[in-house]
Structure 1
Amino acid sequence: MSITQQHALDTYRARRLGETPPPPPGTHDRQTARELRGYWQFRAVVTGRPAGGRVRRALGRLGRLGRPRPRSAC
């Protein structure tokens, strides 16, 4: 069952029961992502690690940041 089908079924059930319908899929995605990022930063601080930049530092260690991309000869 797809997300759209599940939402349609939930909306139908809510209407039959006289309840408020659920929000459409994807309505709160940005808010959820921000809250997760905040939670990860909080957990990092509590455990004594730096609160941000882990991905950038990891990519830097791999040598993918800071270097210009080689240009193709074509």
Structure 2
Amino acid sequence: MNAMQQHMIDVYRAAQRGETPPPRPGDLDVRTVREAWTYRRFRAVLAGRPGDGPAAAPGN
């Protein structure tokens, strides 16, 4: 069973129970990456490094 088939089952179950359906697979990917990037910048500031610019780029 792939992710889309599982999602269809989850949507069906939510409809039967009167609950809100779960988000589609992949809908929250951009938000998750953005939150990870923001957290990484936050940790850089706490460590005394600049939170923006080339110094905050991944791998530095």
TM-score range, shorter chain: 0.7 to 0.9
Please identify the structure whose Cα radius of gyration is greater: 1
Deviation at 1:54, TM superposition (A): 3.8
Structure 1 residue 34 corresponds to structure 2 residue 34 = yes
Alignment-derived partner of residue 71 in structure 1: none
Query: Structure 1 residues 47 and 36 mapped into 2: Cα distance closer, same or farther (>3 Å)?
Result: same
1:45 CA displacement: 1.4
Match of 1:43?
Answer: 43
Structure 2 stretches of 5 or more lacking a match?
none
Provide the C-alpha distance between the structure 2 equivalents of 1:49 and 1:3, rounded to a whole number of angstroms.
Answer: 40
Matched-pair identity in %: 50
The secondary structure found in structure 1 opposite 2:24 is coil
CA positional deviation for 1:53: 2.1
The structure whose RCO (Cα within 8 Å, separation 6+) is larger is 2
How many angstroms apart in 2 are the aligned matches of 1:4 and 1:11?
A: 10
- Runs of 4+ off more than 4 Å: none
- Equivalent residues in 2 for 1:1-74, closer than 5 Å: 1-51=1-51, 52-55=56-59
Offset from partner CA, 1:24-72 (integer Å, 9 cap, x none): 11112112111110011101211233431244x6xxxxxxxxxxxxxxx
